Structure 1
Amino acid sequence: MKSDPMWHTLGTMSPLTDSHGRTKRKLRISLTDRCNFRCTYCMPEHPDWLPRASLLDRGEILRLAGLFVDQGIDQIRLTGGEPLLRRDLVECVSAMQGLRERGLRRLSMTTNASRIAPLARTLVAAGIDDFNVSLDAVDPVVFRQLTKREVAPVLDGIRALADAGASVKLNAVVVRGDNDGEIVPLLEWAMAQGLPLRFIEYMPLDAPGHWRRDAVMSEAEMLAAIGVHHRVETLARSSDPASPYQVDGRYPLGIISTVSHPFCASCDRLRLTATGELFTCLFSPVGTPLGTRLREGADDATLEAIVRRAVWLKDAGYASRPGPVERPITMHAMGG
């Protein structure tokens, strides 16, 4: 085992690194596959929810999260589905705080914010460091067409998070013909609120056969639309998936361009589904069933070895095989 490139020569645990030299620092944990929205780019028209008994319980989530933290993961993001539909969400967040002494630096959450207003202060007090809020339009009609829900509760949730002193960033998936007309209005709304925004190219992660390449609004096209109304400067790129820009000399904008400019070479992320299936890439056709092995009685050493092997074998990513991925799990169950 000591000669394996995944281990130091003295046998101590090395960082989680794949065969392409990318070290993993971030883990997304889906708390549930359920969501109260029906976003057209994410959710099948008639979703089949996982049996509740198949979802990891709080103790199982904490155990697996701890295994990853012990192997160098220092940022965890709680996702869904919609994590606010998890009944013991606050308890899960509180339990995660014990991982900070083991190396966890940041605990984040991605949410549609429609149900967060009553819990905003509680979640901040429980230990969430920052929130990513999905907001694909500010126009009520466009928002309803995209999500089959109303935008007002989302805006209320964003205000509640801001009032609670939370760090908030907005994410918007742009789909040509659906909400590309919202690029500038959404940008200007976010600027007025003083909230950072990231536009995301429409990725082939929804129901098989649904994604169309011509529905992708590329990074260049988004910048062109913004440039008609605002001055946009390109900033130096980091390992973050978003290309950074500065609007009008003061506002930070990011664009995640997986389709037109994949960022696979710097990927430092892993994903764990609500059933404990590890996906080393957002576009992996298959996952590694950690939750199943845990429930079969595997000890921590065995689970750690499974994780390290799966990460080591991670392929080059979307850049090496662009296009839709065929698999039974869709984006709502995968976690953002």
Structure 2
Amino acid sequence: MRRAFAANCCLVHDPATGMTHRAPDPQPNGRLELDDTIVLSWPVVAPADLDRRTPASVCWSPIVRCNLHCPQCLDDTTVSELSAVERHRIAGVLADADILGVDISGGEPLLLRDLTQLLSIIRNGRRSVVSVTTNGWHLTRRAPELAPYLDAIRVSIDGPDQARHDAIRGIGSFARAVNGIRAAIAEGIPVQIQAVLMRRTAGDLQDLVDLAHSIGAGGFTALQMLPIGAGAALPTEMLSDDHARQLLAALRVPTGLRVRLRTRTTAGNFTVIRADGRVWRNTPTALSIGGLHPLLGVTDLVLTTRDGTA
């Protein structure tokens, strides 16, 4: 399947998985269409291993509000939200920055009335691919509107059926998410299902993979839980990266479904922009955050070394 990626020389970013790959040969810079089977066979480059002044990709959470209350949420709900004018300013900064991928998350980004405008501003920079991470509650309604602006959508599913998913995310959330995924696929949006890997959900991993395949998603990503935001209150739910790799290795992966694991190692040094317009970078172990400062311009995205120099 050919779909949108973004490249800078030998670095190629996948908006579906959020991972950056190293191509064996230089690729044309900017947005381009590539065969995803080929791209996903290339090695993944973790943020900590990038040799560049700016991050390859960022997660932007312009909204704190959410209709669900997931116990493992990374968001800091005490943060204030910027005005629409300021959101558009940040979208312009991201459009001008030398980054390959922007994922808009939250909170719940589908609650933003100006979401398509934000996506359009970033896409107009012609450098980045854009994705949205959502709980799927409003996806059926908004999929037709979002389709022209999205390169991929990631839908969070924490249980393979209504009982197990809704026990974590809330009554009715499973049905709304599944219907939303089907609506997005019908609109031609590449869909990635992702689940936060916790002790309580580790035994559901095979069923989650089978669900992703049965719905028709292009891939499934297991995300190692990070002790950030609400998740800081759940340290006993965390699995080691080695344990997570063992769980993934034991899966029976259906033909045509691509399964990925985001370890804490690969989440280290990742860049996040909060709803209040401040930017942080995960520490190398992704167990905490550091370098919190306002995002006023492109230079505020420049990576720094441990001694604080660019």
Query: TM above 0.5, one fold?
Result: yes
* 1:141 maps onto 2:172 in alignment: no
Structure 2 CA distance for partners of 1:203 and 1:122, relative to 1, 3 Å: same
- Check whether the contact 1:19–1:313 (CA below 8 A) recurs between aligned residues: no
RCO greater where, 1 or 2, for CA within 8 Å and sep 6 or more?
A: 1
Structure 2 CA distance for partners of 1:164 and 1:250, relative to 1, 3 Å: closer
**What runs of 5+ residues in structure 2 fail to find an aligned partner?**
1-46
* 1:312 maps onto 2:307 in alignment: no
- Check whether the contact 1:37–1:149 (CA below 8 A) recurs between aligned residues: no
Separation in structure 1 between the aligned mates of residue 158 and residue 291 of structure 2, nearest angstrom: 29
Match of 2:107 in 1: 81
Larger Rg: 1
- Check whether the contact 2:157–2:194 (CA below 8 A) recurs between aligned residues: yes
* 1:122 maps onto 2:140 in alignment: no
Q: Deviations over 1:20-53 (max 9, x none)?
A: 8455121221120111111111179xx85545xx
Shift of residue 209 of structure 1? 5.6
Q: Deviations over 1:179-228 (max 9, x none)?
A: 2231111111112233210112222113486132x422345545655666
* 1:211 maps onto 2:234 in alignment: yes
- 1:280 corresponds to which letter in structure 2? R
Match of 1:275 in 2: 276
Give the TM-score of the pair, scaled to structure 2: 0.71
- 1:139 corresponds to which letter in structure 2? D
Q: Deviations over 1:78-101 (max 9, x none)?
A: 11110011122233223333322x
Q: Which has the higher strand share?
A: 2
Match of 2:131 in 1: 108
Give the TM-score of the pair, scaled to structure 1: 0.66
Structure 2 CA distance for partners of 1:88 and 1:20, relative to 1, 3 Å: closer
Shift of residue 18 of structure 1? 8.8
Separation in structure 1 between the aligned mates of residue 90 and residue 225 of structure 2, nearest angstrom: 31
- Check whether the contact 2:185–2:191 (CA below 8 A) recurs between aligned residues: yes
Q: Which secondary structure state, in structure 2, belongs to the residue aligned with residue 28 of structure 1?
A: strand
- Check whether the contact 2:94–2:122 (CA below 8 A) recurs between aligned residues: no
Shift of residue 128 of structure 1? 1.0
Q: Deviations over 1:219-245 (max 9, x none)?
A: 554565566662xxxxxxxxxxxxxxx
The counterpart of 1:254, out of the listed 255, 260, 271, is 260
Identity among equivalent positions (%) equals: 24
Within 5 Å, which residues of 2 pair with 1:1-336? 21-23=51-53, 24-42=55-73, 50-51=79-80, 55-100=81-126, 104-125=127-148, 127-150=149-172, 151-176=174-199, 178-195=200-217, 196-207=219-230, 210-212=233-235, 214-222=236-244, 224=246, 230=252, 247=253, 250-258=256-264, 262-263=265-266, 269-281=270-282, 283-290=288-295, 294=296, 303-308=297-302, 311-313=303-305
Structure 2 CA distance for partners of 1:48 and 1:256, relative to 1, 3 Å: closer
Structure 2 CA distance for partners of 1:158 and 1:18, relative to 1, 3 Å: closer
**What runs of 5+ residues in structure 1 fail to find an aligned partner?**
1-16, 231-246, 295-302, 317-336
